[in-house]
Amino acid sequence: MNIFSIRRLTGAAMLWLLCSVSLATAQGITIIQNLDRTGVPYESTAVLDVSLSWPGPASEYLFDRPPQLPLERLKVAQISSTISSTGTGPSEVTTRKIRFTLKPTSSGLGRIDPATFGYLHLADSVTGSVSTQALTISIAEPIRVAKRKAAVLASRAQLALTAAVVLALIGGLYLFVRSRNRRPQMVVQSPAEDFLEAVGSLRQSTAGDLRRFQTGLYRLLVTFLSSQYQLNLAGLSTKEILDLLEFTSMTEQQRDKIAGWMWRATREKFSPLAPAPGETIRLEAEIREFFQTEMMTIR
């Protein structure tokens, strides 16, 4: 593998891309890292974007799941991944962006050590890896308790004034509410409840056709995971989606169950074999029982 070439941004661009490094490999993959700031308040967060670009379609390379970042005085609060392509044919370029939201754990000089991203070149089954460069970020001291108390005291006058206005309006508001029929409150369903409702509708619309049911089930599972865990899963493969689930609050048993349904849906929606009678109903019952017992309590 050739030695990586490093390009450091200077001048006015550094004000916007505070810490960005670009590296290239012999396989044609370019890695760019961008830290959105050089200093961060203890109570805030910083964002590290790592972009992997290569000539050709998204299917040119298969990447391992995002690595654990070696961090000092920081921790990963959230991770997301997107993939996009520009151009067509010989001019097509694909970019995969992994975004790490970093939260300070102590004040001082935070450090982000190099992280390695492994890949497989599908055309010739050649494996390789690309790595980021080490970065540092200054972390401010936490806001002192005394300052917080001073801020609370300073706001009490405004709070008292606001409370007086609110109390003056309570009487009128109470009479207004009583003078009208109370409207029923809208029930906000959880992502798991929305999923179960959609599964029931899917089974009815597919009329027991297991292949059509599996195709719709895969889409519903992706929608549930995106909504439940605030993940951007657009354009990701099944393996990439399941890799991201390791960063959620799901247990290993829950992840395995979801993974089993997704892999099965991927296989069986193209299977030429006819399914066993009643298989769609049995599968729906299995899914419904799991979500009602395992997923309803997750928020």
Does residue 39 or residue 175 have the better pLDDT? 39
Assess contact for 213 and 283: CB atoms under 8 A.
yes
Sign of CA dihedral 229, 235, 241, 247: negative
- Those residues with Cβ within 8 angstroms of residue 130's Cβ, 6 or more apart along the chain or in another chain: 4, 23, 25, 29, 31, 52, 116, 117, 119
Per-residue confidence at 16, pLDDT binned at 50, 70, 90?
very low
Count Cβ atoms within 10 A of the Cβ of residue 238 and give its class: 0-12 exposed, 13-18 middle, 19 or more buried. Answer: middle
The per-residue pLDDT for range 122-162, each reduced to its tens digit, is 889 889 899 999 999 999 999 875 466 666 677 787 887 78
Assess contact for 35 and 51: CB atoms under 8 A.
no
Strands 135-139 and 39-40: parallel
The per-residue pLDDT for range 193-226, each reduced to its tens digit, is 898 899 889 888 988 788 888 888 898 999 989 9
Token pair of 217 as six digits: 């089930």
State mean pLDDT over 56-64.
89
Cα of 80 vs its chain's centroid, Å? 4
Per-residue confidence at 26, pLDDT binned at 50, 70, 90?
very low
Assess contact for 32 and 24: CB atoms under 8 A.
no
CA dist 14 → 52, 82, 162, 232 (Å): 21, 24, 44, 28
Given a cut of 90, is residue 173 above it in pLDDT? no
Angle CA(239)–CA(101)–CA(99) in degrees, nearest 5?
A: 45
- pTM (two decimals): 0.44
